[in-house]
Structure 1
Amino acid sequence: MAGKKRRRRTEKTPRRTTRAGLTALSLSLTKHLSPPEEGHVAAPSAATCGDANLAFSPAAIYAALALLAAGAKGTTLQELLDALGGESRGVADCALADQSRSGGPAVAFACGAWHDAAWTLLPEFRDAIAAAAYKADVRGVDFSHEPERVVKEINGCVAAATNKRIDSIIDPSSLNTSTNLVVASAIYFKGKWDAPFGRSHTMVDKFYHLDGSTTKVPFMRSSRSQLICIRKGHKVLKLPYRSPAPLPPPPPPPRQRKGGSSHQSEAGDEISNASDDELPKYSMCIFLPDERDGLAAMVEQMASGPGFWHYRLPSMRVPVGDFRLPKFKLTVSSSLKQVLRDDMGINSVFCDVDADLSEMAKRKDDDEPGTPPLHVGDVRHKAVLEVNEEGTKAMASTGSYLLCGANAVMDQPETVDFVADHPFLFFVIEEVSRAIVFVGRVLDPSISGL
């Protein structure tokens, strides 16, 4: 039995390591990532709040970078692993598994790599790593002569993975004569609240912007008790999604003969308990600063606390007084290249001189002079997320990241007000794996685009 327990701890170790990588990458992107204005590539610090709503998927960008790391060597590999937290495989499988057939959220995840036809993928990467570990679609395309066809193919894969909610992730202007590799990932998430809000209770009210101006938006209301905790400078609300139905218990082990070992019965009990523990649990957590202009300070506080997951999210329901949460829909599109390169130290994979992706592919004609190595031209991100009375619909392509740190929980009053009438932060997590599936900030819920 002791041997079995050691194996179980060993099997869980990669999950803990990957979670630490997700956390580190989330913190970095939360601190630096902000959607650019139309036609510009910019990445002001998220700690300064910028001037736009934000939504991105940590799980999607982690998977894209991990796929690159699987084919990298040397400095290129080290830079990617530093950003990933050291562990590049097994990206929160529990969080990315579709649960719709068992009553939980619908999750569709896809990852793909498109390389120039002048390169040949190595069988080890294509079969053992790309296909098996990442469920990735890897294809050779003609970037130089058929850019429009390549764009159509990539966008078609993203549209299929997100139920056509995201119809494009790349356009011909994103490609040039030196482009020889595009890596993209897409994730679709649709969950229903465990306790939906009544539409008849939704009312229009004021939402305060960072500059003090206001706009009228619909607010969901509720008189039910809620999962809320009070922290120094902000409050946290947790809204659970409907969970998948429990798995049926395993069949009883065959009866042992007299004198036989009880090993099989004990193993069966252990498997049953492990199955119960592994059921995924999704939640949206909303961080609301106490002050109407307190978002920047709250994000800075969170980004400075890498031990966020050592603090508990709300676990007890409390009676609420005034409870208001705005409905919102976000559509955000941006490039991650500058953030990854300038702020997170991922440089060589984008360089047509220094990139080393030799574990991924080799050029068919090695003797052709002046040929740049396989390298990434850009990493694009697009996300669409909607929150309403029924739940959340969220789609993202080649995502991005967030994580948070928090102070100790303060004393809870008997009744708590939670009025999200000013800018706030949210993230969708899978609590078993602690994977961050989506992250966003809402500066103006009346604006659905950039």
Structure 2
Amino acid sequence: MEHGQDAAVRDEVALSMRLLRHLGSPDEPANLAFSLLSFHAVLSLLASGASGAAREQIAAFLGPAGADALASKVVSDVLAGRGGRDPEVRCAMGVWVDAALLLNPAFADAAACKLEELWSACKFKAAVRTIAFGDNPAAARAEINDWFRSETGGLVDNLLGEGSVDGSTVVVLANSLANSLANSLYFNDDWYKPFFPDLTEDGIFHVSPDAAVRVPFMIGSHQHTFMDIGCHPGFNVLRMPYCIGGGGRTFAMYIYLPDERDGLAGLVRQISSNPAALLHKTIVPKRPVMVGELKIPKFEVSFKVEASLLLRDLGLDLPFHPAADSFSAMLLGGAPHKKVAVSSVLHQCFVNGF
């Protein structure tokens, strides 16, 4: 029988490629970053407040390993500190309910436990709070945005945009008798083999076969004479390890580079056809190889997406149907004459590559 955590990782890889294919457009190339752990955690939280077919659909969407298998394991076993130096991980997630209503105690307890379980390894705690949506939705939206801004050191700003909260919002977990899901995740660490700032040089980076931009490149030093590189038909993979954390745990960034300047779309299709193999750590041999020159462009990516249409296109549609009334049990006694559904799923990811 397949180990539960291995099965969860397999499910996560498969879901990541589904999201990548739908978020990325070969016809409209753009920088893209998203966190599967964050998506998984917030959908797992949503499942704990759902009932019936919607709950079953969320669990199936996350994969056969189940809604909880990966998120809790990764956060507690990988991100949790074990002493020593650990990477900086910032994450923020919460549940806000309108002050005129009451959360069902069973859901409130489940949500608090799940949030604590998922994010106790991170620098910031999650929130389960009441807020006055009906009296002053603009102030409520500002309060939630301020909380996210504060809890992420200013990296996540204005997560809830104009119109995402109004007087009929009942839960932010936003709009028109709906739940809104909002989450953010931030990871920061130093390279195991650092780059020296005085070696930075401007160079040409090709964004397409016909377009190039001039950007600063991090230039390797003597420490980068040998690097972890895997060479494969049509692409190469560079493994860039971060500093070793507490308990000897290691993190790494894997950079996939197609051979051809227009090969990115083909590379995504190739990885999608066999993600378990092409995204596995063995894609890079254990023995480092000598490199002539290492040049990596400095980059910073912050990507924000309203993902409800994306999720519906991928088959997760029941949580968005008010007629299904899948979330009334979140509220004590339900919401009289109102059926609660998800109206928006907001996600933001920040990646700093230098």
Where on the TM-score scale, by shorter chain, does this alignment land: which range?
Answer: 0.7 to 0.9
Query: Paired residue for 1:303?
Result: 272
Q: For the residues of structure 1 that align with 2:83 and 2:145, how far apart are their CA atoms?
A: 27
Q: Structure 1 residue 170: deviation in Å?
A: 0.6
Q: Is the 8 A contact 1:115 1:182 kept in 2?
A: no
Aligned equivalent of 1:203, options 201, 215, 218: 201
Greater share of helix: 2
2:326 match: 356
Corresponding residue for residue 283 of structure 1 = 252
In 2, the alpha carbon distance for the partners of 1:301 and 1:112 equals 37
Please state if 1:237 is matched with 2:238. Answer: yes
Deviation at 1:181, TM superposition (A): 2.1
Distance 1:76-1:157 versus aligned 2 partners, 3 A rule: same
> 1:330 aligns to what?
301
Structure 1 residue identity aligned to 2:9: R
Residue in 2 aligned with 1:27?
Answer: 17
The 5 A counterparts of 1:433-448 are none
Aligned counterpart, 2:8: 18
- Report what 1:84 is aligned to: 62
CA offset at residue 151 of structure 1?
Answer: 0.9
Q: Quick one: higher RCO (CA 8 Å, sep 6+), 1 or 2?
A: 1
In 1: Cα distance, 2:253 partner to 2:27 partner: 21
8 Å CA contact retained: 1:30, 1:303: no
Residues 229, 236 of structure 1: 8 Å contact kept: yes
Is 1:173 equivalent to 2:154 in the alignment? no
In the TM superposition, residue 208 of structure 1 has moved relative to its aligned partner by 1.2
Give the 3-state SS of the residue equivalent to 2:324 in structure 1. coil
Question: What is the rounded CA distance, in whole Å, between the counterparts of 1:188 and 1:14 in structure 2?
Answer: 26
Q: CA separation of 1:95/1:165 partners in 2, compared to 1, >3 Å: closer, same or farther?
A: farther
TM-score (ref. length: structure 1): 0.68
Q: Tell me the amino acid that sits aligned with residue 219 of structure 1.
A: F
**Match in the other structure for 2:48:** 70
Check the 8 A contact 2:209/2:261 in 1, yes or no: no
- Select which of 169, 181, 184 maps to 1:183: 181
Deviations 1:83-133 (A, max 9, x none): 211311150124763549621211122321223345432222222x21222
Q: Within 5 A, what are the aligned runs for 1:6-405?
A: 13-34=3-24, 46=25, 48=26, 50-86=28-64, 87-90=66-69, 91=71, 92-94=74-76, 97=79, 99=81, 102-127=84-109, 129-135=110-116, 136-176=126-166, 177=168, 178-222=176-220, 223-246=224-247, 279-308=248-277, 309=279, 312-314=282-284, 315-342=286-313, 344-363=314-333, 368-369=336-337, 371=338, 373-388=339-354
8 A Cα contact 2:183 2:346, kept in partner: no
Change (3 A) 1:83 1:50: farther
Q: In structure 2, what is the Cα distance between the partners aligned to 1:192 and 1:165?
A: 18
Whole-Å separation in 2 of the counterparts to 1:295 and 1:32: 15
Contact kept in structure 2, 1:350 and 1:376, CA below 8 Å: yes
**5+ long unaligned stretches in structure 2:** 117-125, 169-175
Q: 333-342 vs 97-106, which deviates more?
A: 97-106
CA deviation map 1:15-69 (0-9, x unaligned) = 23432332222121011014xxxxxxxxxxx4x2632111111111111111001
Cα distance change of structure 1 residues 198 and 291 upon mapping to structure 2, 3 Å threshold: same
The residue that corresponds to 2:123 in the other structure is none
Contact kept? 1:107, 1:187, Cα under 8 Å: yes
Once the two structures are TM-superposed, the CA of residue 375 in structure 1 deviates from its matched residue by 1.6
Match of 1:406 in 2: none
Please give the secondary structure, in 2, of the residue aligned with 1:220. Answer: strand
Instruction: Give the secondary structure class of the aligned counterpart of 1:215.
Output: strand
In 2, Cα distance between the equivalents of 1:310 and 1:185? 27
Summarize deviations over 1:258-277 as a string: whole Å, max 9, x none.
xxxxxxxxxxxxxxxxxxxx
Larger radius of gyration: 1
Aligned residues: percent identity?
30
The 1:106–1:55 alpha-carbon spacing in structure 2 relative to 1, beyond 3 Å, is: same
**TM-score scaled by length of structure 2:** 0.85
Checking the alignment, whether the CA contact within 8 Å between 2:301 and 2:351 is kept in structure 1 is yes
Unaligned runs of 5+ in 1: 1-8, 35-45, 247-278, 389-450
Cα–Cα, structure 1 residues 159 and 173, in superposed 2: closer, same or farther, change >3 Å? same
1:210-255 deviation line (CA, Å, top 9, x unaligned): 1412211111121521110101110000111112143xxxxxxxxx
